[in-house]
């Protein structure tokens, strides 16, 4: 199970500044709580002895196989935890417990599973009394305590566990998980300090310490911690903004703010400090403070092109187009870097939004010539005017004219993400998937957050997956299963959200009589397409062949429910499912 840490972020509410972070630990498993499976009894005899890993490994594999077949039977995970702890594989036990904790937060663990965890917890409490230095076991038990909603014991156990740190990343994750749950921020600060001793230059640990300090209301200490973070990572804009907000709340003036954030910069670096803060404020949509800092920047440094561009863009967003144009005119002769030129050109193009929006509305209604008439009166050197003209011409089957316009845009705006995106769109329409992908990737290199390019990349991935699926069907029908599986796996890497790929992967397994392996792919198919009737049919087939009649009956019935009559030429499957339902019910009776 992979443990992922979400980025450190900031919350300011009711006049109080606070760091807030979240950890999302998850395991991708289908929701199959309805599946029935027999539980493996937890053998807790003779805890004083050490267990041999080789002896217990067959039991571990047996449980893992059962989980593959019935992943919704969460009692199996508790059994697995018990075995891992006996084998002293505390990190593996921690992963499974984290998975169970996430389920408990969603109220997905029933009383029987919770009782199992409680029993396991009490049993290992006895071990701790005789083996007090087992810090990794304390870590596992801290997660158990959270599952059992015992905040006090969770605090005690994580405190004890962190007194001897082996794996900084693991302990950081565990500390944040427990403290975010118990809200004992004082303890959190203590534990973060211990982690800092082990990894004094770890920026994420410094952030964690700052978060708990501010949540305790210790603003002065939090400010110092943030200064240490920025010293370790001068590009950490997130922490700079957090520090800025704390200083503003303390009514610090511009000079004091700059000196605190940038550690008393030299005179030649003060211009950079103003510009950097202005950009950070705009990025965080803190417009009022941004205007103050940009105005101060331009007053002290009237040749700073960045200031004119930033303030012009603010006015544009506020609908003050005249003021926006005037500022851009003032800054035009001061633009002297490729980055500033690019920002200037993009902003100038955005000021032509109104005719472009009208043209796009006409294009959406199929009025391509009318769109071109609107654009004829607009700024012909504006990027989005040119791109919209290219789009309208392409829709009129004027492919050559469209490409000429895009090449013009590329010449005028060589580093613009949207130009590459527009080329990618045309190549996709021409079914040249390779070229389309090349241009989309170039677009995203320039601007990784370009939503149009991201959407287009999904379309490119879908087009490639559809193309490969046709080949996969041919390979499947010719019983070339190895090559079919290879192409399926390759295509899943490109488009992991295509339910059809998992469906065909399951069929390939079934064709080779590997029914157990097919179930995971069918669950994933249903996760992406919950109304895929045929996926339920083949789950019925799989469990039928695995001699699990209850599950087979359930999935055959679900298939009939979703496909009550033959609408897609599946009469044979309907007849077979009804036949098996009748026989399975008869056996149960």
Q: Does a structural domain hold residue 404?
A: no
One-character DSSP codes across 263-289: TS--HHHHHHHHHHHHHHHHHTT-HHH
Check whether residue 181 and residue 326 sit in a common domain. no
Check whether residue 191 and residue 312 sit in a common domain. no
Q: Does a structural domain hold residue 421?
A: no
Q: Does a structural domain hold residue 221?
A: yes
Q: Does a structural domain hold residue 453?
A: no
Instruction: Name the DSSP class of 337.
Output: S
Residue 355 contacts residue 374 (beta carbons within 8 Å): yes
Check whether residue 217 and residue 312 sit in a common domain. no
Q: Does a structural domain hold residue 326?
A: yes
Q: What's 190's domain CATH number?
A: 1.25.40
Check whether residue 107 and residue 197 sit in a common domain. yes
Q: Does a structural domain hold residue 314?
A: yes
Check whether residue 184 and residue 323 sit in a common domain. no
Could you list the mean pLDDT of each consecutive 10-residue stretch along the chain, which spans 589 residues?
28 30 32 29 36 77 90 91 90 91 91 93 84 83 92 91 84 88 89 86 80 82 85 88 87 92 90 92 92 93 92 85 81 85 80 76 89 77 88 93 93 91 91 89 92 89 81 85 87 84 91 92 92 92 92 92 72 88 83
pLDDT number for residue 446: 92
Check whether residue 338 and residue 220 sit in a common domain. no
Last residue of a domain, one of 215, 233, 251: 233
Check whether residue 181 and residue 324 sit in a common domain. no
Widest Cα–Cα separation across the chain:
89
Q: CA–CA distance from 26 to each of 29, 109, 421, 562 (Å)?
A: 9, 15, 34, 30
Last residue of a domain, one of 184, 218, 233: 233
Residue 560 contacts residue 585 (beta carbons within 8 Å): no
Check whether residue 229 and residue 309 sit in a common domain. no
Structural domains counted in the chain? 3
Q: Does a structural domain hold residue 423?
A: no
CB count in 10 Å sphere of residue 367? 16
Q: Does a structural domain hold residue 72?
A: yes
pLDDT number for residue 410: 92
**Residue range(s) defining the domain that contains residue 175:** 24-233
Check whether residue 193 and residue 308 sit in a common domain. no
Check whether residue 206 and residue 65 sit in a common domain. yes
pLDDT number for residue 217: 79
- For residues 121, 126, 129, 130, the Cα torsion angle rounded to the nearest 10 degrees is -130
Check whether residue 227 and residue 318 sit in a common domain. no
Residue 459 contacts residue 452 (beta carbons within 8 Å): no
Q: What's 572's domain CATH number?
A: 1.25.40.10
Check whether residue 186 and residue 62 sit in a common domain. yes
Last residue of a domain, one of 233, 250, 283: 233
């Amino acid at each position: 199970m992979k443990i992922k840490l979400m980025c450190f972020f900031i919350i300011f509410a009711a006049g109080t500044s606070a760091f807030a972070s979240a950890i999302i630990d998850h395991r991708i498993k289908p929701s199959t709580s309805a599946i029935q499976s027999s539980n493996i009894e937890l053998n807790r005899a003779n805890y004083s002895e050490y267990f041999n890993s080789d002896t217990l490994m067959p039991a571990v594999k047996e449980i893992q196989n059962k989980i593959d077949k019935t992943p919704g039977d969460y009692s199996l995970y508790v059994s697995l935890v018990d075995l891992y702890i006996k084998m002293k594989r505390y990190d593996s036990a921690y992963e499974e417990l984290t998975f169970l904790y996430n389920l408990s937060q969603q109220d997905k663990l029933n009383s029987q599973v919770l009782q199992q965890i409680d029993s396991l917890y009490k049993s290992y409490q006895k071990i701790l009394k005789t083996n007090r230095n087992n810090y990794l076991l304390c870590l596992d038990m801290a997660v158990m305590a959270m599952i059992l909603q015992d905040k006090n014991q969770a605090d005690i156990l994580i405190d004890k566990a962190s007194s001897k740190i082996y794996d900084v990343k693991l302990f950081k994750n565990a500390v944040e998980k427990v403290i975010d749950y118990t809200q004992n921020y004082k303890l959190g600060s203590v534990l973060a300090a211990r982690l800092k001793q082990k990894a004094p230059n770890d920026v994420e640990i410094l952030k964690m310490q700052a978060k708990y300090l501010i949540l305790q209301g210790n603003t002065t200490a939090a400010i110092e911690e943030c200064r240490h973070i920025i010293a370790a990572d001068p590009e950490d804009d997130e922490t700079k903004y957090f520090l800025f907000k704390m200083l503003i709340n303390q009514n610090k003036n511009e000079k004091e703010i700059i000196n605190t954030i940038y550690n008393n910069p030299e005179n030649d670096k003060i211009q950079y400090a103003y510009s950097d803060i202005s950009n950070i404020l705009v990025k965080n949509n803190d417009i009022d403070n941004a205007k103050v800092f940009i105005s101060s920047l331009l007053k002290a440094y009237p040749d700073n092109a960045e200031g004119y561009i930033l303030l012009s863009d603010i006015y544009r967003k506020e609908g003050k187009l005249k003021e926006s144009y005037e500022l851009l005119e003032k800054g035009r002769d001061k633009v002297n870097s490729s980055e500033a030129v690019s920002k200037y050109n993009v902003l100038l193009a955005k000021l032509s939004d109104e005719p472009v929006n009208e043209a796009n509305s006409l294009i959406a209604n199929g009025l391509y010539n009318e769109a071109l008439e609107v654009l004829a009166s607009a700024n012909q050197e504006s990027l989005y005017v040119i791109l919209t003209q290219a789009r309208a011409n392409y829709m009129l089957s004027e492919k050559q004219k469209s490409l000429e316009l895009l090449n013009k845009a590329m010449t005028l705006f060589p580093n613009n993400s949207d130009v590459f995106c527009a080329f990618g769109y045309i190549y996709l329409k021409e079914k040249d998937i390779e070229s389309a992908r090349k241009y989309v990737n170039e677009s995203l290199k320039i601007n990784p957050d370009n939503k149009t390019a991201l959407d287009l990349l999904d379309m490119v991935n879908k087009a490639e997956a559809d193309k490969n699926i046709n080949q996969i069907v041919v390979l499947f029908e010719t019983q070339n299963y190895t090559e079919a599986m290879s192409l399926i796996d390759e295509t899943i890497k490109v488009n992991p959200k295509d339910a059809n790929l998992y469906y065909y992967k399951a069929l390939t397994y079934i064709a080779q009589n590997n029914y157990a392996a097919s179930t995971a792919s069918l669950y994933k198919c249903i996760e992406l397409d919950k109304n895929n009737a045929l996926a339920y049919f083949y789950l019925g087939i799989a469990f039928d062949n695995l001699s699990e009649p209850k599950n087979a009956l359930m999935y055959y019935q679900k298939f009939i429910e979703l496909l009550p009559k033959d609408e897609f030429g599946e009469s044979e499957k309907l007849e077979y499912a009804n036949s098996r339902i009748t026989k399975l019910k008869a056996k149960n009776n």
